[in-house]
Amino acid sequence: MVIADEVPIEPFEGIAFAEPVRVALELREADRMLAVEGTVDARVHGPCDACLEDVDLEVHVDVEERLDPSHGRDAEPFGENNVLTGQRLDVADLAQQTVLSALPMGLRCKEDCLGLCGICGANRNMGECSCDRAQ
């Protein structure tokens, strides 16, 4: 079975998805397992962890999963197969988990972001403030 769709994803801990996530997956049975292969593409929006400016990030994830239908969400809600309910695959949940696991620990507006001044709170990427850093 081939799935080519756009699925809406709920915001998660300050991370928003500006548009539905694009999913292109192939599902097939392999040794009593569900083999899921394909790609997930998303636009992620959230604040920079250092300076709090808005960050837009394109995320592309290659998916290659083997899921055991006998151990789905009902049997193990927090297990690896929690995107399965019986014989049903929750594509949106799979997409969200895949994208979130591919994100860096914190979003950054740029690699060399200087962040905020610890004294006055000014964005140091916009220029130096007049605070005495020796304090």
Q: Are 84 and 72 in contact (CB under 8 A)?
A: yes
pLDDT in single tens digits along all 135 residues of the chain: 888 999 998 898 889 998 999 999 999 988 888 889 999 999 999 999 999 999 999 999 999 988 877 665 554 544 555 677 767 788 888 899 899 989 888 899 999 999 999 889 999 999 888 887 655
Tell me the β-bridge partners of 47.
54
The domains of the chain are located at 2-126
Q: Are 4 and 87 in contact (CB under 8 A)?
A: no
Beta-carbon neighbour count of residue 87 at 10 Å? Answer: 8
- Collapsed DSSP state (helix, strand, coil) of residue 8: coil
Task: Write down the pTM of the prediction.
Answer: 0.76
Q: What is the amino acid identity at position 6?
A: E
- Show the tokens assigned to 38: 């394909």
Residue 78 has a pLDDT of 46
Distance of alpha carbon 46 from alpha carbon 106, whole angstroms: 10
CA angle, corner 72, sides to 70 and 73, nearest 5? 155
